[in-house]
Structures are given as C-alpha cells and as structure tokens.
Structure 1
Amino acid sequence: MSAIPENLKYTEEHEWIAERAEPSVVRIGITDYAQDSLGEVVYVEFPEVGQEVNAGDAVGEIESTKSVADIYTTLSGEVVRLNDGLEDSPETINADPYGAGWLFELKASDQDSVELLTAEEYVSFTD
C-alpha cells in the first residue's frame, strides 16, 4: 500500500477529503486501503452535478471485479464537479487513489461540524 498523505482528512468509511482553493469546496476520493480491498475497479456511478446530498447518504457506487461498494458522503452540500476521466478509465482509482483517482467535489454546508480523522488516526484505524 502507498503512504497515507498527511495533508488529507479521512473517514471510517475509507474515504479521503481534501480542502480546495475555493471556500467550502472539498474533493473526495477513496483511500488506498479501500481500493486495495475492492480489487480492480471497473465502473464508477457518480452523483449528479448540482445534486444536494446529506451527510451519511450513499451517493454512488464503485464496482470492481470482486464487489460493488457504495460511495458515502460524510458532509452535506452540493456536488459541484465530477472526475469525468474515471468514466473511461475507472482503473485510475487503483493506480492513483490520492491523485488522479479522486471521485467528486462538494460545496460543503457543514464542513466544520464533522469529525474527520488525521492520517495518523486513519493508519491506527486500519491496523
């Protein structure tokens, strides 16, 4: 497994969250641990741009050669951007889960009210 980036925050559902330059906008993806557990990713079902989502909602799916997993959002807000490159190359999630394999961006409405894990806490959680 690759190193866990220190600059990201993590969830117990094995997703990472990165702050973007725009106020309240975050980028969301799945961790290396999650992609490794799933196996070869073959399809991603995204939420819709403009869709309002609530914390805890399943907002899409990731299908692999082994299973199908829901994509959850830890934050409430509006989906503002999708990683369209994953439609043609979903395996990018396996190759680069913390970079080019991101899933979507969300304009979060409750970012400060959610407890996220640091990289160190996430490593302890997955050990």
Structure 2
Amino acid sequence: MTHEESVNDQLDLLIGKLLSEVTAKKMVDVRFEYEDNDQWSVLSTFQDEDDSEISLRLHPGNRYFFYHGYYDEKDEFHEMVRALTDDQVATIPAAISKVMLKVLDDEEGLRVPGSLLAR
C-alpha cells in the first residue's frame, strides 16, 4: 500500500496510532510553527522504519489537520495534509486539545509528560 493510499484509506487508524504513541512516551514536545500568515501547534511522531513523520496540527478556529511527510524511493520528500472531520476530532483526548490550544495561543512550544496527554 502506498503512503497516499494508507492516509486516504486508514486515516482513523493513523490518528489512533499517533495518539497511542504520544501518550505512551515519557515526554512529548508540542511545537509551535508558522509559515507566512498561518500558524499552528503540532504534535508529531517519527517512523524510523520508513523515514516518515505523522503529525496532528491545530490551526486557529479549532481546525485540526493530519499531516504525513515521507521520502520516496528517489529520496524526494512528499507531504500530505488532510482536514479532520468532527468525528475524528472527537477522538482526540481533551488534554491533548487543551495543550495544543495553549501552545497555539501562547505561540510557544511545551514539553509535557505523555501520561498527562492521555487524560
């Protein structure tokens, strides 16, 4: 299955994988990023086996996006971004939403225990 097929067909599973991985970590970095006039908070995990990244992004207006970045066989970098549905957003633990919103509002990243994000 290609990366694009995986994101298109298994987005709910990938979101669940991301949430499981970050809540199981000892410490998690929630970063603040911006580009031009857009800004967001981001929660990421990196997959060493295929040199890829999956992330949850919160943009102003409570808009959540799933991000997948990866290198292909020619070592070219590709990015895919998908908006989350209301049902997908509802699966995000309240603590993750709260921390991501704080990072976005304060425009400053945070390092928090993964166990805190599971609540």
What TM-score do you get using the length of structure 1 for normalisation? 0.30
Higher-helix-fraction structure: 2
Higher-strand-fraction structure: 2
